[in-house]
Structure 1
Amino acid sequence: MLQTRPDLGAPKPYTFPKPRRLTVGGGTVVAIDVPGQAFASVRLVHPSGGAAEAPESMGVAALTNEALEDGVHGNSSLAPALERHGAEWVSRVTWDGFITGVDAPANRLDDATALLAEAVRSPALRDEDVLRRRDQILERFWLDASVPSTLATRAVGGQLFTGRYATPLSGAPERLKSVDPQTVRDFHASSIAAVAGTLVVVGDLSGVDLEELGSAVFGDAGAPQDAEPTAPGPAPGELPRVVVLDRPDSVQSALLMAHRAPARSQVDLPRADGVSDVLGGMFTSRLNLELRERLGYTYGAGCRFDLRRDSGVFLVSTQVDTETTAHSLTASLAEIERLRTDGVTEGELSAVRESNTVGLPVTYSTARSLAGALVEMVVHDLPEDHIDRLRAGFEALTADDLARAAQEYLRPSEMVTVIAGDAKRLEGPLAEAGAGPVTVRDPETLWS
């Protein structure tokens, strides 16, 4: 006999753990003690992201980040050294940060962090290792770009910005070829080895000496120099406009619509993310219901804000059949205009609140997720109670807030649409769609 499902109670309020912060030498340690969390996460954050790269060395941060995994002895020596302690290497580069770290059992944290310190402060960076890593990035660049959605995403920066953002984060292939091992060593010496950074530590920290841990990682490195963000210039060309990346005989199109957005510090995140959720951030969002459920054009459509220290991008993305590409574009624009004109419903408002608050205890239930939140706070100089403020902001949202956000943050008149697909079959229908002049590009010439 089936039992009656119990009634759900009111969700319990969630408070993000208060981190402990201490200055150690030229760096800062930010830590959250989670009693009983036997697996710990350590992240070292440097402010040397891709946005700060010089034009002649674009991609050097990403290449250096990958080359660190070759360790102090070269030839991918770091991974097996970490494995002896049950630890895993974690690293990535964003536009605004250079992040390295380890995930390790809390009782082996000192050993794993010592290997992190060695890899970051004194890697081998041998010529043969750097060149191998560079060749792997170059090969992966075109392999990934064979996926239409990836190709469109990488191409959109050149349609919105001049300067560094016009080129993909990993660097354009032709430019990356000129980044030699000495350039990597120079970048590492000036921007990584010489800069202490911020050490994020999360896990069961009983018995862990955070000051000693920080000293081991920072050594005698100094504090980073503060740099004032400068908004990049816009790409030339009429707005709105459509760019087709020609993939002859493709039966599908990757459709990406984008416009510039404010910097992270200039955005009211609950309102911006809330209106993005209504438009394309949830399964019940308007774009998904229109393009997937009503029209049957796609398996899914979505949108998001990519917010950086000095600027941002708003993106709408989906993949559709070639024949339905033009109508998918006009239907998406119509949904954006309807949201700007009519605002949101009470049901949509409720869904936004719940999706961004109810699941917080699960979202931040692991050391890795807590460390990820702290890394974001460090990179964007956010207050320690950022998550709590964010939760309170979502809880306080009103329909009027989201209606104003739609007017403020969604700007279809400034939209650039990038479509990876069969230009011969797309150019005519897209010209008739009225979303701006249509230009056709050969993908292989985008970054030459």
Structure 2
Amino acid sequence: MTFHPQPRGGVAKPWAFPAPERATLPNGLTVLRCHRPGQQVVAVEINLDAPLDAEPKGLDGVSTIMARALSEGTDKHTAEEFAAELERCGATLDAHADHPGVRVSLEVPASRLTKALGLLADALRAPAFPDGEVERLVRNRLDEIPHELANPGRRAAMALSQTLFPAESRMSRPRQGTLETVERIDAAAVRAFYEAHVRPATTTAVVVGDFSGIDLDAALADSLGAWTGGTAEPRPVPPVTADDTGRVVIVDRPGAVQTQLLIGRLGPDRHDRVWPAQVLGTYCLGGTLTSRLDRVLREEKGYTYGVRAFGQVLLSAPDGSGAAMLAISGSVDTPSTAPALADLWKVLRTLAAEGLTDAERDVAVQNLVGVAPLKYETAAAVAGTFADQVEQHLPDDYQAQLYARLAETGTVEATAAVVNAFPVDRLVTVLVGDASSIAEPVRELGIGEVSIIKG
């Protein structure tokens, strides 16, 4: 019997995260572009300097409504016409608001990029904010809030923010507003927020894709370059403070058969030199199915379908200051709540006493660095990372340097970083579940004072 020769892998090609070209249009708008041959779907990310802390008092959520209303008509098209024009381009346009500002995302086939950039520019330059459309968006947002409060994961995140941050901080309140604040929002408030904070001089556009045969300079000049507005300095980034005294908050859900866990504290952001080691150590702790938390709580004890540890940047300032949320999340059945927490704390204490192993470190590096070329196969993934770097005031080559530092980080350094990130006596624990069943067993663990709030 004759077999075909076994296929063999080719020579591995070197890979590095791409570097953008940076330029400034005459109107002050900053542009980062990155030519990616073969990427026929072009991704555009727009960073608007309209952070949540800029929202007027009592109008939390106005930036979210403004972001959603950007595509609801312009000085050239009604909302229906604008949607139809996007559809003719084969484009999608999304926008959302977060603590650093408003992000607008466009994806479009390269052949329709020029037309889509014109529509995007119209949405930024002259949004109509019709009264009826804003009222509809407000009603939609009001309808969403009860669903979010009913979702254990979202409710835990709200409770953690409320507990961790001071009451006067915007960080302590829901990103998209509450029933009380959203119902006060009208078209006039949206227009006022737009006029106060949206202008080309404080905006950055990221464009990634295959630009072959496209005069990108001309396309940008005729679209985003035609946007006019006054000059302004970027808003100062407020300091982020938090109280991470070890304690437990139970959001009472009588009769709940599961408990949602969210354990967190404030930590350093990407400007801190410890970040690469912290990323590596956190991945070993709870980044994948083979991590320590999953191995104990899922595989050995069967408490959960999965537990994850992660770091999420909240705010970063140009001077290098900033903060990230360091957290552990998961869910367990109600009777297992206290045993699961006990074992989770045991994992943290064992980690502090014994450290990570070289094998754990090697697997984490392989998973984080080795799969990076796959992670960034699409233009949208690359553009999103560039936009994150802009929001966080990082250099353009930050992501490329991060992968190099991850590969160089040793086991001892990763251990120290993750132990410092999750100290057993400085963690705020939020539990969304049946307080009558879990409160007393949790108190007996001694991981902090226990308080109960309504679900």
**Pick aligned residue for 2:359 from 334, 337, 347:** 347
Separation in structure 1 between the aligned mates of residue 30 and residue 160 of structure 2, nearest angstrom: 36
- Given that 1:19 and 1:384 are in contact with CA atoms closer than 8 Å, whether structure 2 keeps it comes out as yes
Of 222-231 and 292-301, deviating more is: 222-231
CA contact (8 A) 1:257 1:417 kept: yes
Q: Deviations over 1:42-75 (max 9, x none)?
A: 1111122324434322211111111112122454
Q: What is residue 210 of structure 2 aligned with on the other side?
A: 204
Q: Residues 52-67 of structure 1 correspond to what in structure 2 (within 5 A)?
A: 52-67=54-69
Tell me if the contact between 1:160 and 1:416 (Cα under 8 Å) persists in the aligned partners. Answer: yes
Relative to structure 1, the CA distance from residue 39 to residue 327 in structure 2 (aligned partners, 3 Å threshold; closer, same or farther) is same
Of residues 298, 303, 326, the one that matches 1:292 is: 298
| One-letter identity of the residue aligned with 2:69 | A
- Measure how far apart 1:176 and its partner are: 2.0
Check conservation: 1:330, 1:433, Cα contact below 8 A: yes
1:217 maps to amino acid: L
CA distance in 2, matches of 1:233, 1:175: 24
Counterparts of 2:201 and 2:345, CA distance in 1: 46
Q: How does 1:31-180 map to 2 (within 5 A)?
A: 31-72=33-74, 73-75=77-79, 77-162=81-166, 163-180=169-186
Q: Does 1:217 align with 2:224?
A: yes
Counterpart mapping for 1:253-264 below 5 A: 253-264=259-270
1:21 and 2:22 matched: yes
* Structure 1 residue 76: Cα displacement: 5.2
Is contact 2:93-2:105 (8 Å) kept? yes
Equivalent position of 1:231 in the other structure: 239
The whole-number CA distance in structure 1 between the counterparts of 2:65 and 2:273 is 31
2:311 is matched with 305
2:70–2:124 CA contact under 8 A, matched in 1:
yes
Amino acid at match of 2:25: V
Q: Aligned with 2:18: secondary structure?
A: coil
CA distance, structure 1, for counterparts of residue 413 and residue 6 of structure 2 = 36
SS in 2 for 1:69: coil
Is the contact between residue 269 and residue 275 of structure 2 (CA under 8 Å) also seen in structure 1? no
Identical columns (%): 31
Question: Per-residue displacement from partner, 1:96-136 (whole Å, max 9, x unpaired)?
Answer: 13111311111110101111111122111112211211121
Q: Residues 352, 5 of structure 1: CA spacing in aligned structure 2 closer, same or farther, 3 A cutoff?
A: farther
Alignment coverage as a number of residue pairs? 441
One-letter identity of the residue aligned with 1:29: V
Aligned partner of 1:365 among 372, 377, 382: 377
Per-residue CA deviation, residues 395-417 of structure 1 (Å, 9 max, x unaligned), is 10101111221233222322111
Aligned to 2:340: 328
Whole-angstrom distance in 2 between the partners of 1:345 and 1:222: 56
TM-score (normalised: structure 1): 0.93
**Mind listing any 5+ residue stretches in structure 1 that lack a counterpart?**
444-448
Report the secondary structure of 1:413's partner residue: coil
CA–CA distance in structure 2, aligned partners of residues 10 and 234 of structure 1: 50
Contact 2:44 2:107 in 1 (8 A): yes
Q: Distance in 2 between matches of 1:3 and 1:145?
A: 60
Code of the residue aligned with 2:17 in structure 1: it is: F
Q: For 1:4 and 1:55, locate their aligned partners in 2 and report how far apart those are by CA, in whole Å.
A: 71
Instruction: Determine if contact 2:49/2:100 at 8 Å carries over to the other structure.
Output: yes
The farther-off stretch of 369-378 and 216-225 is 216-225
Structural RMSD (CA): 2.2
CA separation of 1:5/1:327 partners in 2, compared to 1, >3 Å: closer, same or farther? farther
Where in structure 2 are there 5+ consecutive unaligned residues? 317-321
